[in-house]
Structure 1
Amino acid sequence: MAGRHPNTCKIVAQLRPATSRRAVSGIVEVCNRMLIHARWPRWAAGRCFRRRAVVHWGLALSILTAGFPLSVPSTYAGHGFALHGDLKYPADFPHFDYVNPAAPQGGTLTLANPDRRTSFDKFNPFTLKGTAAPGLTSLMFETLLVSSADESASAYGLLADDVTVAPDQLSVTFHLRPEARFNNGDPVLAADIKYSYDMLMSKSASPGYRSMCSDVKAVVVTGERTVRFDFKQRNAELPLIVGQLPIFSKKWTSKTPFEKLTFEEPVASGPYRIERFDAGRGIIFQRNPKYWGRNLAVRRGTFNFDRVVYRLYKDETARLEAFKAGEFDAIVEYRSKNWAKSYVGKRFRDGSLIKTDFPHRNGAGMQGFVMNMRKPIFQDVNVRRALILALDFEWLNRQLFYGAYRRLDSWFSNSELAASTTFDGKPGPGELKLLEPLRRELPPEVFGVDVVQPTTNPPRSLRDNLRDARRLLAQAGWTYADGALRNAKGEPLVFEFLDDGGAMSRVITAYVRNLEKLGIQVHQRTTDFALYQKRLEDFDFDMVSIRFPDSQSPGNELRDRFTTEAAGTPGSDNLFGLKSPAVDKLVDAVLHAESRDDLVVAGRALDRVLMHGYYIVPNWYSASHRVSYRKELSYPARLPYFYTAEGWILSNWWRNDLAPRTQ
């Protein structure tokens, strides 16, 4: 993906030569405005740190100044970074548009466990072993850059006040804010950035960090408050990736090695500290009265509560009843049946509790039943296609979901990157340019129309789909005999569906019934959250239900999800065991796209190949967040575009029973 330097030719006052940091003269502004209004190519108008743009910029200067020599700096620094196009917010912006800068601050926000963890045993969210307390990453750990929720792939300085991309795009340098402090009072220095990076790249940390930063060659401390990330190759997303790595102090591990940290409070720079906790019941965070960043534009109107409390509940039923009884303040509901049937009663009728659907523009990502191809029974594509045919989405949506969902038909559903968004369903010229060199490695169907998910809407039926599934299974060597589907050796087709006892249980049960009609034996195994996570990290499962996060601008996370290297890395997102040189090359094409248009083409080509691989039984998605909350809570009038409901509540909401503050 192609990186674009922020607002390089849009508002010149936002730019500072990295070599001198002096004010830019008025004539430079004229030249830069000329580049925009003359409608120069996008690479010139949006990427002035590129060598070609600098040449044209200098040429324009020489013409306008009629021979008066001016030096042209080869590198520019700015207040943020945009992967495609220009940043929305100028350097002197007061706050993000989707926050309320006058929101009253104070009071307590009480939440339930945001996932199915019912206890925790550490305050280190970055290592694989153990279960971290909820809220740590959002409330305690900060990053060099912070994303904007109304732009895709744009970020602004948080710990850093200056980000500089080299002309050859092989490095990025960050300058740290002098006022940035850890919660122990120490300044945040370049050495802390390097130390944090080294710990996250160690084998003690989650392998996802190493995968995302695989193109980082070195981290070099160039001054007390300047640090440079050197890259192995041009990868325009890297400034965003390294800019959003969590930062912490070496003093956190002064007495205990990083991988053995348990309940040592993190020495970090975020707005909250841990007040007290009970590993089996919950944790309380208290706002740090000495928080260094409260007046930053990227923090104004955010984190408005004095305390944030997480209470842990043993199951979803107990959690919902606790909310209705007033034990906590807000809940995000993922079960359509609950939303339709359970959010009723006196407190909803009298307005004490409110339920609202909040629309969003998030890509749908992918949710589905993952087949682990490390297991022999899933290695035949015909078996995988048959298992997909056995899911009756229309019945589920009608009987269980109250018609709330749409079927996923892509790894990038609800996005222009989906292969299904092409006019005739076939690969266009741009896709073919990427796919043709890989033809020998790909099934011929990839070059035809995109995959259409099976349906049971008339004139089709579940019976029709199961007949098709049986034919595919027979082609794979599985035929019905002696009460089961068996291979040539007489072995039955048996596998385990691993579940953590959540909302998918009734869906899995319905799906298993259809598989049994084919003669497939499925053992449903329900386990607790900690063991479930451990088995996923070790790839110790046959089939499992997973949701992969969405992205408006997919990048290095694809390496951790789809590449051959990740398939052999415990803890990676490549749960499928996918090892495909063609997919590896298409992931690289996405990562090295030179424009948004190139990204869309590469994304569609990758999506087309993944869908024709049939590695997952696609589920469904919704284009809104379902949130219920107490009437004492309020949220900004303008919603963000791209957001998670939990993160939005935590960072942007406030109590309306407090006096408003003056701006």
Structure 2
Amino acid sequence: MGVGLTLLAAPARLAAAESPAIAMHGAPALPPGFNHMAYVNPDAPKGGRLTWGLLGTFDSLNPLIVKGLAVQQIRGYVVESLMARGNDEAFTLYGLLAKSVETDDARDYVTFHLDPHARFSDGEPVTADDVLFSWALLRDHGRPNHRQYYAKVAKAEALDALAVRFDLAGANDRELPLILGLMPILPRHATDIATFEETTLKAPVGSGPYRVTEVKPGTSVTLTRNPDYWGRDLPVNRGLYNFDEIKLDFYREANSQFEAFKRSLYDFRAETEPLRWHDGYDFPAARSGKVIRDTIKTGLPEPSEFLVFNTRRPVFSDIRVRRALTLLFDFEWVNRNYFFGLYSRKAGFFAGSELSAYERPADARERELLKPFAARIAPDVLDGSYRLPVTDGSGRDRESLRSALRLLSEAGYDLDGTVLRQRQTKAPLSFEILVTTRDQERIALAFAGNVKRAGIEAKVRLVDPVQFDQRRLDFDFDMIQNRWDQSLSPGNEQSFYWGSQAADIKGTRNYMGAKDPAIDAMIAALLAARGHDDFVSAVRALDRALMSGFYAIPVLNAGEQWIARWNRIERPAATSLFGYLPESWWQHQAPDVPAK
């Protein structure tokens, strides 16, 4: 399909009324004409600089393609979407570039009406032509998730210079209008289709609150607030984007990154290592209160860390091997010795929320959805009786070892002295765990010790973040540690995480290589669900299909966000459902000193 602007007369149809917001389920929480979001300070002062300390490096300013290591903050700060998330709701969008949206009850179409004031940073207006151009460009040349989502559109057309209609008939995807609402909008006049998929350090032209003003390749990027930003007074933006400058500094190694924070070289860090959170902040600035530590409880499913099996590799193709290795991981020992008991552990991918199937029996709706795939769903997962193994915490639990060896024997492996070998080929059972941080390395080494008791050799390879990211994107590993963050409104991204099609597309997050018709069917069911109860049942059914496949070993659940910040940075008293939001922070204003 071409990407040129086509002006059409509006078809004769009974269209829904235009609305400034759209919710995945139910109605938006905020009424038309709201003043600001509850989790911002609408009177936050403007000015100053926020410096981020990021682990890794970059070679591109385009986060919308697979190639290269991109600066992710370009998305949102520089390049905007048609609509913006309400971060106190599971999945509701409010007007941004599009001042309003309309769709029908079946969600067979969606029309976006652009704000006539919307401008790119070069002063050019945002038009329907730019929206159609962006949709076609990302459908054909964007990241795998964009290609997958936007290809579901049957037809796209401009109703006039500021209105775009997407025909979604046949997609059977009630989330798709919202997915399109989050589509990044690029300027046709400043985007080269021929070079779009190539990495670039050229500053992009966007419509967002910031512009890229300085780039030091691989080291830092500076974003400067656009004084002419068209959307600064929108209710959805009030209290956001308060710093005049955002500095993104990159560090190659985690310890040097932390040392830089201690030296006040950047302003805040989201801490992910319990050992460091527990006793690493005993330095003068933290003791004096110049560094503040915030513990934030979100309303989302608990982020979960996993040791992920790459089932594309023959060593992990047998589910009995994966189940046996799951039994051998001694969480109790790891949690006590490494994490000071700060973590819990649950099975499944939606822990701590109503969407989780763990420790819950399937309801009638779930059973009906899963009935065609009964052979693929473990009975104890279906009835809610499945539990992760609990060891004695010694690191030498005998019962878990015996159970694991029974499963491995069923899979064709026998102990030959102290080495577990394949019965027919006599090849030893061995694999490599790829890690990129010292914390991951410690977990991997502990697990290597666990499996060694069963005669299995697990080699641990520590690589730098750049190599780790590239190998993960290419599925070039046996096992990695990975974290999936889930929302309260999982949707199309689930296909990107574990859909069969995504298993063969590099750059997706289906790291385990799952190819299961039950998973695909449950993703389709959650996308088609109209009511909240049907949606919850479909997500829980998906969770059961994932648990039954033993694609990853649950390592831990993080029930809180740990944020450390220098006291020159202030944040709102209220926290959003999604947790911390740096775009809502501001620089502390020193009191005026009377002149002498």
- TM range, smaller chain: over 0.9
Instruction: Give the deviation of 1:366 after TM superposition.
Output: 3.6
Distance 1:325 1:75, change over 3 A: same
Task: Report the secondary structure of 1:163's partner residue.
Answer: strand
User: Paired residue for 2:306?
Assistant: 368
Distance 1:199 1:528, change over 3 A: farther
Task: Report the secondary structure of 1:76's partner residue.
Answer: coil
Which of 450, 453, 471 is the equivalent residue of 1:517?
Answer: 453
- 2:172 and 2:103 map into 1 onto residues whose CA distance is 11
Instruction: Give the deviation of 1:533 after TM superposition.
Output: 2.2
Instruction: Give the deviation of 1:134 after TM superposition.
Output: 4.7
User: Paired residue for 2:7?
Assistant: none
- 2:427 and 2:366 map into 1 onto residues whose CA distance is 42
- 1:460 and 1:491 map into 2 onto residues whose CA distance is 26
User: Paired residue for 1:609?
Assistant: 545
User: Paired residue for 1:655?
Assistant: 587
CA contact (8 A) 1:211 1:557 kept: no
Q: Does 1:159 align with 2:97?
A: yes
Instruction: Give the deviation of 1:419 after TM superposition.
Output: 1.1
Alignment of 1:584-623 (within 5 A): 584-623=520-559
Distance 1:440 1:214, change over 3 A: farther
Q: Does 1:472 align with 2:407?
A: yes
- 1:482 and 1:383 map into 2 onto residues whose CA distance is 19
Distance 1:629 1:143, change over 3 A: same
Q: Does 1:290 align with 2:213?
A: no
Task: Report the secondary structure of 2:358's partner residue.
Answer: helix
CA contact (8 A) 1:193 1:227 kept: yes
Alignment of 1:29-40 (within 5 A): none
Q: Greater Rg, structure 1 or structure 2? A: 1
User: Paired residue for 2:271?
Assistant: 333
Instruction: Give the deviation of 1:162 after TM superposition.
Output: 0.8
CA contact (8 A) 2:346 2:358 kept: no
Q: Give the letter for the 2:36 counterpart.
A: H
Q: Which is further off, 226-235 or 95-104?
A: 226-235
Distance 1:449 1:362, change over 3 A: closer
- 1:537 and 1:363 map into 2 onto residues whose CA distance is 25
CA contact (8 A) 1:142 1:270 kept: yes
User: Paired residue for 1:315?
Assistant: 253
Instruction: Give the deviation of 1:580 after TM superposition.
Output: 1.4
Task: Report the secondary structure of 2:154's partner residue.
Answer: strand
Alignment of 1:20-419 (within 5 A): 74-113=15-54, 116-117=55-56, 119-202=57-140, 204-231=141-168, 232-254=170-192, 257-419=195-357
- 1:618 and 1:214 map into 2 onto residues whose CA distance is 34
Q: Give the letter for the 2:235 counterpart.
A: A
CA contact (8 A) 1:211 1:566 kept: no
- 1:272 and 1:523 map into 2 onto residues whose CA distance is 45
User: Paired residue for 1:45?
Assistant: none
Once the two structures are superposed, what CA deviation does each residue of 1:511-552 show, in whole Å capped at 9, x if it has no partner? 111111111112222223233222222222111111112111
CA contact (8 A) 1:355 1:628 kept: yes
Identity of aligned residues (%): 35
Instruction: Give the deviation of 1:563 after TM superposition.
Output: 1.9
CA contact (8 A) 1:208 1:573 kept: no
- 2:206 and 2:438 map into 1 onto residues whose CA distance is 33
User: Paired residue for 1:53?
Assistant: none
- 1:280 and 1:381 map into 2 onto residues whose CA distance is 41
- 1:628 and 1:501 map into 2 onto residues whose CA distance is 19
Instruction: Give the deviation of 1:280 after TM superposition.
Output: 3.0
Q: Give the letter for the 1:110 counterpart.
A: T
Q: Give the letter for the 1:430 counterpart.
A: R
Task: Report the secondary structure of 1:412's partner residue.
Answer: coil
Instruction: Give the deviation of 1:190 after TM superposition.
Output: 1.0
Distance 1:493 1:333, change over 3 A: same
Once the two structures are superposed, what CA deviation does each residue of 1:63-103 show, in whole Å capped at 9, x if it has no partner? xxxxxxxxx96422100101112111111001101100100
Q: Does 1:431 align with 2:366?
A: yes
Instruction: Give the deviation of 1:300 after TM superposition.
Output: 0.5
Alignment of 1:613-652 (within 5 A): 613-643=549-579, 645=580, 648-649=581-582, 651-652=583-584
Q: Does 1:495 align with 2:431?
A: yes
Once the two structures are superposed, what CA deviation does each residue of 1:583-636 show, in whole Å capped at 9, x if it has no partner? 211111111112110011111112112112111001212222111111111111
| TM norm structure 1 | 0.84
Once the two structures are superposed, what CA deviation does each residue of 1:256-287 show, in whole Å capped at 9, x if it has no partner? 62112401211111101112121132111110
Once the two structures are superposed, what CA deviation does each residue of 1:328-358 show, in whole Å capped at 9, x if it has no partner? 1111111010011111122122221111212
Instruction: Give the deviation of 1:571 after TM superposition.
Output: 1.6
Instruction: Give the deviation of 1:451 after TM superposition.
Output: 2.6
CA contact (8 A) 2:51 2:266 kept: yes
Task: Report the secondary structure of 1:435's partner residue.
Answer: helix
- 1:168 and 1:531 map into 2 onto residues whose CA distance is 45
- 1:124 and 1:459 map into 2 onto residues whose CA distance is 48
Alignment of 1:494-573 (within 5 A): 494-573=430-509
- 1:133 and 1:449 map into 2 onto residues whose CA distance is 42
Which of 390, 398, 417 is the equivalent residue of 1:463?
Answer: 398
- 1:151 and 1:134 map into 2 onto residues whose CA distance is 23
CA contact (8 A) 1:183 1:291 kept: yes
Distance 1:287 1:493, change over 3 A: same
| TM norm structure 2 | 0.93
- 1:259 and 1:659 map into 2 onto residues whose CA distance is 49
- 1:240 and 1:547 map into 2 onto residues whose CA distance is 25
For the aligned residues, what is the CA RMSD?
Answer: 2.2
Distance 1:472 1:440, change over 3 A: closer
Which of 373, 386, 411 is the equivalent residue of 1:451?
Answer: 386
Task: Report the secondary structure of 1:628's partner residue.
Answer: strand
Distance 1:196 1:298, change over 3 A: same
- 1:458 and 1:512 map into 2 onto residues whose CA distance is 16
The unaligned stretches of length 5 or more in structure 2 are 1-9
Q: Which is further off, 95-104 or 250-259?
A: 250-259
Alignment size in residue pairs: 581
- 1:607 and 1:399 map into 2 onto residues whose CA distance is 30
- 1:556 and 1:225 map into 2 onto residues whose CA distance is 27
Instruction: Give the deviation of 1:166 after TM superposition.
Output: 2.7
Q: Give the letter for the 2:367 counterpart.
A: L
Once the two structures are superposed, what CA deviation does each residue of 1:472-496 show, in whole Å capped at 9, x if it has no partner? 1111001111542111210111111
Q: Give the letter for the 1:615 counterpart.
A: Y
Distance 1:476 1:255, change over 3 A: closer
CA contact (8 A) 2:294 2:564 kept: yes
Q: Give the letter for the 1:374 counterpart.
A: R
